[in-house]
Structure 1
Amino acid sequence: MLGLLMVATGGWGVLALTYSGPHSDMVRSSLAAAFAVASLAALIALGFPRWRWLALAAYFVLFAVLVVWWRGIEPSNERDWQTDVAVLPYATIEGDVVTMHNIRNFDYRSETDYTPAYYDKRFDLRKLEGIDLVAVYWMGPAIAHIFVSFAFAGGDHLAVSIETRKEKGEDYSTIKGFFRQYELYYVVADERDVIRLRTNYRRNPPEDVYVYRLQGPLENGRRVFLDYIKKINALNNHPEFYNTLTTNCTTNIWLHSRVNPEHLPFSWKILVSGYVPERAYETGRLDTRMPFPELQRRAHINTRAQAADSAADFSRRIRQEPGMTAPATPQTSR
């Protein structure tokens, strides 16, 4: 057991130094290699009673120093950000009216060629009509990017996608996401931006987008919306790190849902994000009047989104399919 602990902590330490160590590649690689050698030496020393406890003490002192260094790595809002995540959204609240600032609405010509644009908009919580769950697939059924879109009377929608905030020249890596390489970022966007980007412009690989109307009391939806606003505003002053496992798109949605007493119970399907819609269906959070495969077929919006393109009524047109809206639900807590 002690040996397994040393293998686990040693492996973590090597990866932490590899991905989060000093900027110099040579120094970073040298430190990671040195820690690997020290870990291996301590592991071998377990087989020699004379040296066992001295080696263990030295190893765990070294590991403690590594942990202190690790905890000293802090997130920041002051970096040379990629254009699509350069501007932080925030909101102001006056009674039931929320004014969202810096709603992203880029004009895309391709995935990488676009004109940045933002706008502010007022949303009346009393006019919230529902929440849509958006699932984006690009590599099979198990992996998806999940986000939500809040629907208001009059055809207004506000999409919020929880993503990584990458610096210029930085690519996404699942492994790096475990090692404090990305700040957490809430993309607050017009659906013609955050959905149309995925249906109309991403080609390598192409993405399939599904939009499901969530079931439940509107009072619950309002609480979730305000919890999102609270987090969005907090990130302006107190940035946080993204984590591939614990602080990602789906786990954060689940955490926001916990403001409601009847929130979705935790399940492995929340971690294997492609199965989140299925999990929502199983627990009655989606329309169960039809089998899930049929609901999924109707929720697929790529063809409709490509036809609507930049139309002003994009949000209405992508939902022109039976089953895209939920049956009426009471507006008080269950």
Structure 2
Amino acid sequence: MLLSLVLLLALLLNAWVLLALWFHRPHRVQLRYVPIALWLLLWITSVVCLWRGNYLQAVLWLAAGLTPVLLWWRGLLPTGQGDWADDVAYTTTGALDGDTLSLQRVREFRWLSCSEYEQVWSSREYQLSELQSVDMITSFWGLRPIAHVLVSFGFGDDRYLTFSVEIRRKRCEEFSVLGGFFKHFELNIVASDERDMVRVRTNCRDEDAYLYRTRISSEHGRELLLGYVAAANTLAVEPRFYHTLKANCTTIVYAFAKRTYPGLPLDYRLLLSGYLDEYVFARGGLQQGYSLAELRQRGCITERARAAGDAADFSRRIREGVPGCNGTASPTI
């Protein structure tokens, strides 16, 4: 029984090391699989010794392989440097002067397809006193439990500023849930308008998006917005790794919101972001007088976004029929 437990732990340890080495394998073809091969040699030797009852030798062989791996892992730090994909090449930063929020490197791409686009990064100014609404947008690309979460701040006259916590991909690199556990991606925060941030998901990547008008008050919305800006400013000078569970598009926002609403509980739906609307609904954060099913049905903006295309009134058109957006909204909290 004890031997079986030890072998199980050895197998789990082997899987962790192999995945860590796989996601950080050397770029040079000649060296790409050398670290994995060396680790497997030491691990197999350790298991053989364990199976034969040579426990001390097994521990020594395992330590000989594990010690340099752990030292390497501990020294693996984010750099903020890389040949980044164009859409995450910069981090949006900002500064507050009285009521005026000045933002630098706001993304305004014009998307023709996932691979064809016009790159535009701009500087913008917003008056915090003009903030009127906070909307939550969830975008699905596969399994129902997983979604990408955007937060869009409305300043009147259909002006919306959307923030997204992103993985910072390198060119020709794709998202990997497993890679997010193994320091494979760095974290990035980007602000954009919805004709970029939303449309690229619905119109180019064929994702399904849902928009919800929250009950967050203007005062608390300003706190949430400034939380994004402060985090982005820090990230610009202190790079950080993305983590599939601990530092992603949902948990980062939860950390901001908890400063404003200290009683917000932890919940599995903060990890399974596809069910985040259930969590916010249960906390009374969405429009009242509707079931969650109704809010989802009326908040599905996929087809409206595809029909709107690159229209100047994109944000207004995707909100047609969304509870709270075109009529009396529920009292704020």
Shared topology, TM-score over 0.5?
A: yes
- Output one character per residue of 1:102-159: Cα deviation in whole Å (capped at 9) or x when no partner: 1111112222111111222112222222211111112242221111111223432110
- 1:285 is matched with 285
Please state whether the residue corresponding to 2:239 is helix, strand or coil.
coil
Please tell me the residue identity of whatever aligns with 2:28: S
Query: 1:258: how far off?
Result: 2.0
Q: 1:263 to 1:308 in 2, by over 3 A?
A: farther
Instruction: Give the stretch that moved more between structures: 291-300 or 193-202.
Output: 193-202
Please state whether the residue corresponding to 1:233 is helix, strand or coil.
helix
The partner residue of 2:59 within 34, 38, 56 is 56
C-alpha contact 2:250 2:271 (8 A) present in aligned 1: yes
Please tell me the residue identity of whatever aligns with 1:16: A
Are positions 1:187 and 2:203 aligned together?
Answer: no
Total equivalences in the alignment: 326
- Output one character per residue of 1:52-110: Cα deviation in whole Å (capped at 9) or x when no partner: 13421442353232111112222223222221122332111112321111111111222
Please tell me the residue identity of whatever aligns with 2:220: N
Give matches, 1:155-234, under 5 Å: 155-202=158-205, 206-234=206-234
Instruction: Give the stretch that moved more between structures: 269-278 or 309-318.
Output: 309-318
Query: 1:316: how far off?
Result: 1.8
C-alpha contact 1:210 1:296 (8 A) present in aligned 2: yes
C-alpha contact 2:26 2:32 (8 A) present in aligned 1: yes
Query: 1:319: how far off?
Result: 1.1
Q: Distance in 2 between matches of 1:283 and 1:36?
A: 49
Please tell me the residue identity of whatever aligns with 1:39: W
- 1:141 is matched with 144
Are positions 1:86 and 2:89 aligned together?
Answer: yes
Q: 1:216 to 1:180 in 2, by over 3 A?
A: same
Q: Distance in 2 between matches of 1:188 and 1:263?
A: 28
TM-score w.r.t. the length of structure 2 is: 0.90
The RMSD of aligned alpha carbons is 2.0
Q: Distance in 1 between matches of 2:260 and 2:59?
A: 47
Q: Distance in 1 between matches of 2:215 and 2:7?
A: 49
TM-score w.r.t. the length of structure 1 is: 0.90
Please state whether the residue corresponding to 2:209 is helix, strand or coil.
strand
User: What 5-or-longer segments of structure 2 have no aligned partner?
Assistant: none
Q: Distance in 1 between matches of 2:14 and 2:273?
A: 29
Q: Distance in 2 between matches of 1:96 and 1:64?
A: 53
The partner residue of 1:96 within 72, 94, 99 is 99
C-alpha contact 1:129 1:152 (8 A) present in aligned 2: yes
- 2:265 is matched with 265
The partner residue of 2:36 within 32, 37, 44 is 32
User: What 5-or-longer segments of structure 1 have no aligned partner?
Assistant: none
